[in-house]
Amino acid sequence: MHDDGHWLNADRLRGYPRMFLVLYVLFCLGWGLAATEMMDPFGKPIGYDFMAFWSASRVALDGAPLDAYDPTRLFLAQQGALPALTMPFLWHYPPTFYLAVLPLALLPYFWSYVVFTALTLGVYWGVVRRIVPQAGAGMLFLAFPGVFVNAFHGQNAFLTGALLGATLLLLERRPLLAGVCAGLLAIKPHLAVLLPIAFICMGAWRALFAAALTALVFLGVSVAVMGDGTLHAFISNLRLVRLIMESGWLPWIKMPTFFAFAKLLGAPTAFAYALQAIGALAVIACVAWIWRQAVDYRLKAAGLVSGTLLVSPYLFDYDLALLALPLAWYGMYGLRSGWRRGECEIVALCWTLPGLVAPLAKTDIQMAPFVLFLMLAMIVWRVQTDKRT
């Protein structure tokens, strides 16, 4: 980023990612050697969250898609793949994502995990590459801790990141296709909540219509294929998800949200939700303001994705793989317009954030949402100053 004596110079930008990649490889080798029968040292399957995806596919292909929402029956399918498994991995996704994962169990668990991760990573990289065409970007992307954390968990953030990034890349020139990509985010609707605000502020009515229609058609096809019982089961299951989130069974140290920040400090649940709501309203106001300004589109896109990671109380460290998008857009803007004091440090902090969420929160202070808000505040400040020039 800098070649003028700043600590984050071109040599370090080439060297640090290589160091991270070496650490990832060593960690994976050690983790693999410590695993027994596909089970890691803590009794979890390799790519452990992927087990929920694969087993849901298994019961659906066996003709019983509703079993995915029954923990006991789903656990039996999981033990069929890994007999040593002693804990269930719950499925609580909507029928839209259920349809997306339907083919996964056509392959054995491990190879399905490898193929799913590689394919979704490739698609996500293709989107990020459209934002950052510079040489060396691939190394920064692969070394990004968000990529490692998501791949390690076997989660779907590469897919959601690709859809969100594609939506924003296409919005200016191909609004109908952008709306289709936005509608496909019905697999994880809470990651699309700010898109209608951007569409309205931009006057992108065709994108808004296409997004709504795509989401409805996608849901209709999903229910037709998987059965309407899956939709009812998903809705009924939301209460269970809320309870396990509020109880901490879903670990707060891995949740980069204002809700988790309050709960880790021992605050009542009502206060935690109130704090999350206040933060979300502030974020919505910031994003709406950014999108109403006549500024570089890269700032708008970076602001929207940064804000998306702050509005929902339900978010995990692997979802921070989406940070590759605002970091790419803001990085390209900084290269074109120059860097202000402190910006490189904020960008570097956000780049490392996905790998720091859980370790730092073991102190019972969840700092991640404040780092994310700092990123959004930097974008707001840059919009405010640059729109005057």
246 and 287 share a domain? yes
> Nearest Cα to 354, choosing from 302, 309, 311, 318?
318
Same domain, 222 and 319: yes
Q: Check if the beta carbon of residue 357 is closer than 8 Å to that of residue 320.
A: yes
Beta bridge partners of 39: 36, 45
Quick one: pLDDT at residue 177? 98
* 334 in the same domain as 187: yes
Reported as a single tens digit per residue, the pLDDT across 62-86 is 999 999 999 999 999 999 999 989 8
As a whole number of angstroms, the distance between CA 145 and CA 148 comes to 5
* CB-based burial, 196-213: b 16+ in 10 Å, e otherwise: ebbbebbebeebbebbee
Shortest CA distance to 298 belongs to which of 124, 177, 178, 168? 168
Residue 278's contacts (CB-CB under 8 Å, 6 or more residues apart) are: 258
Judge if 174 and 260 occupy the same domain: yes
Residues 10, 111, single domain; the answer is no
- 8 Å CB contact between 145 and 181: no
Same domain, 86 and 226: no
Are residue 8 and residue 42 in the same domain, yes or no?
no
d(CA 84, CA 78): 10
Give me the domain span that covers residue 14. 1-34
Helix (H/G/I), strand (E/B), else coil: 64: coil
Model pLDDT for residues 207-256, shown as the tens digit of each residue: 999 999 999 999 999 999 999 999 999 999 999 999 999 999 989 999 99
Question: Where is the domain boundary, 73, 91, 109?
Answer: 91
The residues with which 2 forms a beta bridge, in sequence order, are 9
- Mean pLDDT along residues 336-363: 90
The average pLDDT across 118-130 equals: 97
222 lies in the same domain as 294:
yes
> Which positions ≥6 away from 389 have C-beta within 8 Å?
none
List Cα–Cα distances, 165 to 11, 147, 174, 191, 327, in angstroms.
29, 15, 14, 12, 12
**Is there a single domain that holds both residue 110 and residue 81?**
no
The number of angstroms, rounded, from the C-alpha of 217 to the middle of its chain's C-alpha atoms is 24
Task: State the average pLDDT for the chain.
Answer: 93
Domain match, 57 and 131 both: no
* 0.75 surpassed by pTM: yes
80 with 104, same domain: the answer is no
- pLDDT of residue 1 exceeding 60, the answer is no
Residue 251 C-beta-side C-alpha neighbours within 13 Å: 10
Q: How many CB atoms lie within 10 A of CB 361?
A: 22
Last residue of a domain, one of 46, 64, 91: 91
Helix (H, G, I), strand (E, B) or coil at 39: strand
Measured CA to CA, the distance from residue 261 to residue 238 in angstroms comes to 22
Last residue of a domain, one of 69, 91, 113: 91
The number of domains in the chain is 3
Q: 166 and 57, same structural domain?
A: no
